Structure 1
């Protein structure tokens, strides 16, 4: 039954089979490919080679979901109530706030679908396929299991392939696996447990052929490919609420319950007291309007937007507003290695020659730095013949090119070859001059079987030629019979010393390549048979992708701030350990964390997995599924997790994380679409800056909430007490709306411009389980509410007892609320420090807001049109003295409370 056999192939470990077994399993021909008729039949059965479209439930359902929130319910009720009161302007303002929040939420949900669209676009390309023994070009979406696909340098791999023939094939799999250099491929059968990053006999959809050519049998298409598996993970990853939205949802639910209970209780009390039901209902409306924090959604949006603007100046682009706050609550940062903690530019750090060792300064592809001897002094190629020939071999036996673009040095070619070009220049050899002095005649290209590259060069000024070789230490050393001394003399090879030096350098996480030469006149012929035994070892060059300059200090700053930094990479454990140690992600004695590989994770029992993940700080050679599981485990343990990444393999984790951070320069479009924030400089130090900014945003939002809630609660209590006592309302609904809307905009929103407090990165992150409002802050809110209630009620009664009319008394009560709010605003600039210690000049917008609010209060108090609209009346100067006395007394009480509770906050 051919269908069953082909269907089974999607679940088989094709890398663990011989090419012949794969051919039999898929019932194809490794020379002729499928027939056109069979290809059509399989296309009809298995579908096109496309990733499935996301099912978002439609735009209407997504739009309706944006209104499913308790605070939105309260705001809608506020809009309806103000409309009933014929305060149409206020009703439209509140409705506009609801609409803006709905639009923001709609855009956020659309982001996930955009990420999946980017993934689908990665597999749309042209492919060369052999069918009926004829090579032809077809759209990649027409490929089916069993198709024979031909690859060449520059091709994007369209499906998952088991290689059956190849020639020097190298594939860039960094976007899929995180491997920092192109992978050399071969046809060797591998154990079934081999992870994706080490499957040399397979190539996967979405990767890029950088060199050579090959032919492979299609073993998976569409959703069955490795890329398809990532697509499923991205689609399945839960879009988590941020710490802010979770806490605001909790506050909103409490407010909703309080408002409904208080409104119902107020109406019931009024009716039981025999008051007119219509008048009582009007009072209930006033209570509800007063208790609703209309300015809260706008304040949240504007505060976050200001944080976004500040972050843009610090080289981070926020794609989703709450992301900036989420970073401030982060407890764990799971960072990719390549390009984030490192520069993504291979750099030679050490050179070993048979008689000396050298260190190399500078990093990246910029030709700045020196080769230094053991005494620390700069040396050049002229001072040591072995060093000269090692540098020359690295520069001439090389196919890479470096070029400068807008002040940035870029590489065309293999990163290791780029590193050898740069170090040659640091040692005094101009690569272009070397190519001119030693023009190349022939090349033996690198392959995974040979493990070396060799080039034959003419030597200008003579009739002789020279052979230059670079490759793996073991392979090159086995081909050498001698080693070169510093004076240029040839001596018997000490292979044990060379291998020991290579082992020591590799132990530091360095990638080590050996260089060798066959000097002019020491051998004939240039092929794989004549080279072994004719070469002279010149040295070893050890390189790595160096850490970014500011990354180490940024990691230390995160540790100081109580944030755990974990490295998750697809690279090898030795390389990851070396970089992590240099950056203090992992200390030298492994006191901070430990290193786990993908195989270690698979071997862990389920009950030990969470604790192991908590303790470890470096995860090497992990798959996308494992990375996603790591993130989910940390979240289940109560952490707020930030994840960085740039490849397709990072997309599921970026989507699952509380905040996903993608790289702008090296990141794939898939990663950027799945992320909440994009770093324009690809630098981990920018994440540390974002954490600092996020903490400032969270502080400012908390300050606004602590400032605004006493007003709402105080207004509700004033109305409730009036109903309870059967007294005249001290505030009318329109007056309450004036207080809420003007003070929220002119006073409260100025807290969004508050600068970050000193020492913000020396305190631990907020406990995710900690409520938005701590017990001490709740007490302060109740205290200020009581002060507002007492001050407004006292002055309202006092003015009436002195013969003032109801309008004048209400105007006095209205101004009491505004003045107390203004005094309390200065206290809220810091929740722990004294208002005097904060100072006035650090946030001049506060002063602007106070002046504008004062103008507004004078207008509503003394302008006849405003008096007519809001039922206010002019008041005398002695009334203002009493109003300010209430404000000063309230400020003194809050200052005393802050001093007594400073240690609690």
Structure 2
């Protein structure tokens, strides 16, 4: 049974489609680990190589596309033919298959065997009861998971990635009229339009526009490219980005090595391109691998590993106790058939039948509640990591600051205001086609410059050298009045100074250029340092004039530049940042700032929001540290500046290696490696595609306060799951301990298999309301982590307490009510049935909180109502007309004062022992 259970439970946790809210992060990791070097179908390889080798006219013809893309009707028709651009794992299970999955677990299979055996022995009543248990267990789980699926789909609709596509028209009658006008009067086609389209609606033949930060949405053939670098690590394992071109280069044979093919699941690191979609969905290289690897297991997350470890604890306990129960009853009673059925019933009592339903319901409820707080959960099991997180690494911009950068100053090299610097910065931002960041947008807000510069008349773009996170600068080359070319470069100060050899100085007699000697360099650094100390982010602007003969430019041309000045930006801190940081600290979450920005600006912002930044660890220092030194450094430093993407990833991994549960919050291309490396990746709806794909949690509002609320909700969700596991483990242990004692001394079974099953069913039903229970504020003050050893200790400590009162009940029924013969066994069994059920139900309230139950901490109304109903049902069964169906009998009225005394004694003893347990071990 242990292998069956483990395989089923691992499949439930890893493969349940109800928990696969979004698509590709988990699958990308699986493909990255298992898909590299895997053979793909021959026809797919041939199609991709054909797409790479065709000239562009032939490629357009083969995919029935046009120079200016598809029309809207053509795209709609193809969407019907080819289906949505989704890989196999994203499709939900059909209802009948979902129902089968809800049934086929070891718990239900065991109950079914019992029902069949009962039917064969002509015990129709037992067959009906056990069949009801199976039906209830299956239907409750089916309904709850169905709700989870529907909630997942609603959440999925709130966060979706889009692609920029080129359309010939927008599919309206007005557009068709305009098309005819262009053809008839201007003898040309109307210019194509760019639209944001959900990625799932892309079709073969579409033209997509790509820039830095975009996920490649399908398999594509490059049409045009400007310094296009793509990260293909998920497919090939290559750590460095690969440059892609519009034409086929080299003599590579495999599809992945083709220089003009792009693959779904990879992402643009820098540059820009337009590309022709050649395959979508399962027909892509990624989709083919995805279909093959979705059936294989991924490495379990912390949540999965935790639940699996607890499950193994219960399995090992059952493997020891059930054979002992069988042997004791077989030898003492002499009826091995009855002993076997009783042992099977005990096995059912030891297995947490409702665990799948409780896990799914609790996680789904948590996800829905989080969505109301503007936190979207992409993977349900990420909620546990959310609650367990004790270190949050975050970027500075947009989380600590307002994400509304304003251009505060534009100065020459000595700090004097300069309109010329603003002009060059505007030209750079206007003509670049890569990822326009907040700094670019702040520059472009000076729209009046567009008229003053007479862009269309005086300037023509020649080329650009896109931004990357190693150079930390980007350049555009423009032609001014077709007379000469100007290379305009802007970027981080230190990286810009490395390529500048001259400085432009302004004076009354005009401007002049002087060499960048040591004295000038020192003066420049003094000016930029002063701007940084004012809390301004400084971007240096440089340029050089070139002859008009050159048409293509590269990084090598970024040399011998003339520094002309700086543009400085103000990014003020958010008002909510300081209270949010304080709230996170109070809840045991340490915040560390990881930024690529200047250390002076970072330190100033951190000081304004109350984050200690006395010492800032810089990227170059991280670079020089070995793993041991970094492991120490990440513990003592809170602020890290001038980091590259790989530095961020390394810091996150170092924190994890130190035993922390690490969250990382980011929204840029440079954050993607760290998002994947963290235990829980957090991004925002406005993030670049690759960041959203890498994240487990999406915030609809970029705020640490929202994140803090999400952490608390995650802890509540985890706490309620932990309640069920603790209750079930301790209650089951106590019951089996009592069964062993009774079996050894009684001449009859202490409870019939049918009665034991009914008791277990009623107890399980009472647990359905646990996902909706209240959680004490004290329980969510600190991070919650899986601790199987603690659960085992809890089980052994509290389980035998119920046995004390079970034995008291045995003595009461044997000596006081004279139920000490086989003829009177039903009275004995009825008495223990009621005590057992009521103490099991009462323990829910006793150990759901470390406080005094009902007084200091009250359960939520649904749990209170469910508890009262089940307790009433437990008393009604032996006292009502259904008693003989379950071979129970009415209890004398004199039994009930004893029952009250037993329950009161149980409550008092459990409360006392709970105090001892808390003093010795703590509650969590």
TM-score, length-scaled by structure 1: 0.62
Find the counterpart in structure 2 of residue 618 from structure 1. 640
Name which of 113, 120, 141 aligns with 1:80: 113
Superposition deviation, residue 890 in structure 1: 0.4
Find the counterpart in structure 2 of residue 416 from structure 1. 439
Superposition deviation, residue 510 in structure 1: 0.8
The answer to whether structure 1 residue 790 and structure 2 residue 807 are counterparts is: yes
Secondary structure in structure 2 of the residue aligned to 1:835: coil
Find the counterpart in structure 2 of residue 820 from structure 1. 839
The answer to whether structure 1 residue 843 and structure 2 residue 876 are counterparts is: no
Name which of 327, 344, 347 aligns with 1:288: 347
Distance 2:506 2:477 in 1: 19
Given that 1:125 and 1:156 are in contact with CA atoms closer than 8 Å, whether structure 2 keeps it comes out as: no
| Residues 472-621 of structure 1 aligned to structure 2 (within 5 Å) | 482=506, 500-506=526-532, 510-512=537-539, 541-543=567-569, 548-567=574-593, 571=596, 574=599, 577-578=602-603, 581=606, 587-590=612-615, 595=619, 599-600=623-624, 604=626, 610-611=631-632, 618=640, 621=643
| Compared CA separation, residues 578 and 828, structure 1 to 2 (3 A) | same
Given that 1:598 and 1:623 are in contact with CA atoms closer than 8 Å, whether structure 2 keeps it comes out as: no
The answer to whether structure 1 residue 275 and structure 2 residue 293 are counterparts is: no
Find the counterpart in structure 2 of residue 665 from structure 1. 686
| Compared CA separation, residues 240 and 642, structure 1 to 2 (3 A) | farther
| Compared CA separation, residues 729 and 510, structure 1 to 2 (3 A) | same
Superposition deviation, residue 867 in structure 1: 1.6
Superposition deviation, residue 258 in structure 1: 1.8
Find the counterpart in structure 1 of residue 712 from structure 2. 692
Superposition deviation, residue 311 in structure 1: 0.9
Distance 2:709 2:650 in 1: 27
Superposition deviation, residue 891 in structure 1: 0.4
| Compared CA separation, residues 759 and 387, structure 1 to 2 (3 A) | farther
Given that 2:464 and 2:477 are in contact with CA atoms closer than 8 Å, whether structure 1 keeps it comes out as: no
Find the counterpart in structure 1 of residue 663 from structure 2. 642
| Residues 30-179 of structure 1 aligned to structure 2 (within 5 Å) | 73=106, 76-83=109-116, 84=118, 86=127, 87=129, 88-95=131-138
Find the counterpart in structure 2 of residue 257 from structure 1. 316
Given that 2:413 and 2:503 are in contact with CA atoms closer than 8 Å, whether structure 1 keeps it comes out as: no
Given that 1:628 and 1:653 are in contact with CA atoms closer than 8 Å, whether structure 2 keeps it comes out as: yes
The answer to whether structure 1 residue 301 and structure 2 residue 321 are counterparts is: no
Distance 1:809 1:438 in 2: 98
Distance 2:426 2:134 in 1: 73
Superposition deviation, residue 691 in structure 1: 1.8
Find the counterpart in structure 2 of residue 872 from structure 1. 888
Given that 2:382 and 2:696 are in contact with CA atoms closer than 8 Å, whether structure 1 keeps it comes out as: yes
Given that 2:231 and 2:268 are in contact with CA atoms closer than 8 Å, whether structure 1 keeps it comes out as: no
Secondary structure in structure 2 of the residue aligned to 1:333: strand
The answer to whether structure 1 residue 809 and structure 2 residue 842 are counterparts is: no
Distance 2:674 2:613 in 1: 28
Distance 2:623 2:317 in 1: 53
Given that 1:67 and 1:102 are in contact with CA atoms closer than 8 Å, whether structure 2 keeps it comes out as: no
Distance 2:99 2:621 in 1: 41
| Compared CA separation, residues 596 and 286, structure 1 to 2 (3 A) | farther
Secondary structure in structure 2 of the residue aligned to 1:312: helix
Name which of 891, 899, 904 aligns with 1:888: 904
Distance 2:100 2:612 in 1: 49
Unaligned runs of 5+ in 2: 1-53, 63-85, 119-125, 168-191, 193-201, 235-242, 246-259, 276-285, 466-473, 482-487, 544-562
User: What per-residue deviation string (whole Å, max 9, x for no partner) do you get for residues 595-643 of structure 1?
Assistant: 5678547xx47x656555666663754446x766655554444333334
| Residues 740-751 of structure 1 aligned to structure 2 (within 5 Å) | 740-746=760-766, 748-751=767-770
Superposition deviation, residue 275 in structure 1: 1.3
Secondary structure in structure 2 of the residue aligned to 1:589: coil
Given that 2:594 and 2:640 are in contact with CA atoms closer than 8 Å, whether structure 1 keeps it comes out as: yes
Distance 1:674 1:550 in 2: 26
Secondary structure in structure 2 of the residue aligned to 1:801: coil
Secondary structure in structure 1 of the residue aligned to 2:777: coil
| Compared CA separation, residues 92 and 628, structure 1 to 2 (3 A) | farther
Distance 1:868 1:153 in 2: 75
Distance 1:822 1:333 in 2: 39
Name which of 852, 861, 870 aligns with 2:869: 852
Find the counterpart in structure 1 of residue 19 from structure 2. none
Given that 2:412 and 2:566 are in contact with CA atoms closer than 8 Å, whether structure 1 keeps it comes out as: yes
Find the counterpart in structure 1 of residue 175 from structure 2. none
| Compared CA separation, residues 294 and 356, structure 1 to 2 (3 A) | same
Superposition deviation, residue 776 in structure 1: 5.8
Given that 1:307 and 1:694 are in contact with CA atoms closer than 8 Å, whether structure 2 keeps it comes out as: yes
Secondary structure in structure 2 of the residue aligned to 1:829: coil
User: What per-residue deviation string (whole Å, max 9, x for no partner) do you get for residues 518-552 of structure 1?
Assistant: xxxxxxxxxxxxxxxxxxx9996411555554344
Distance 2:812 2:763 in 1: 20
Secondary structure in structure 2 of the residue aligned to 1:294: coil
Given that 2:733 and 2:796 are in contact with CA atoms closer than 8 Å, whether structure 1 keeps it comes out as: no
Superposition deviation, residue 250 in structure 1: 1.9
| Compared CA separation, residues 236 and 848, structure 1 to 2 (3 A) | closer
Find the counterpart in structure 2 of residue 677 from structure 1. 697
Given that 2:618 and 2:642 are in contact with CA atoms closer than 8 Å, whether structure 1 keeps it comes out as: no
TM-score, length-scaled by structure 2: 0.61
Superposition deviation, residue 280 in structure 1: 1.7
Distance 2:525 2:440 in 1: 22
Secondary structure in structure 2 of the residue aligned to 1:241: coil
Distance 1:674 1:476 in 2: 37
Distance 1:176 1:581 in 2: 35
Find the counterpart in structure 2 of residue 364 from structure 1. none
Given that 1:175 and 1:646 are in contact with CA atoms closer than 8 Å, whether structure 2 keeps it comes out as: no
Distance 2:219 2:325 in 1: 69
Secondary structure in structure 2 of the residue aligned to 1:510: strand
Unaligned runs of 5+ in 1: 1-31, 41-52, 127-136, 143-148, 178-184, 188-201, 216-226, 358-385, 402-410, 425-430, 458-468, 517-536
Find the counterpart in structure 2 of residue 754 from structure 1. 773
Given that 2:536 and 2:571 are in contact with CA atoms closer than 8 Å, whether structure 1 keeps it comes out as: no
Given that 2:645 and 2:673 are in contact with CA atoms closer than 8 Å, whether structure 1 keeps it comes out as: no
Name which of 387, 393, 398 aligns with 1:328: 387
| Compared CA separation, residues 662 and 176, structure 1 to 2 (3 A) | farther
Secondary structure in structure 2 of the residue aligned to 1:660: strand
Distance 2:633 2:382 in 1: 28
| Residues 394-473 of structure 1 aligned to structure 2 (within 5 Å) | 399=430, 415-420=438-443, 442-443=458-459
Distance 1:295 1:235 in 2: 26
Name which of 708, 723, 735 aligns with 1:715: 735
Q: Report the RMSD for the aligned CA atoms in angstroms.
A: 6.7
Superposition deviation, residue 564 in structure 1: 4.0
Q: How many residues align?
A: 729
Distance 1:65 1:80 in 2: 22
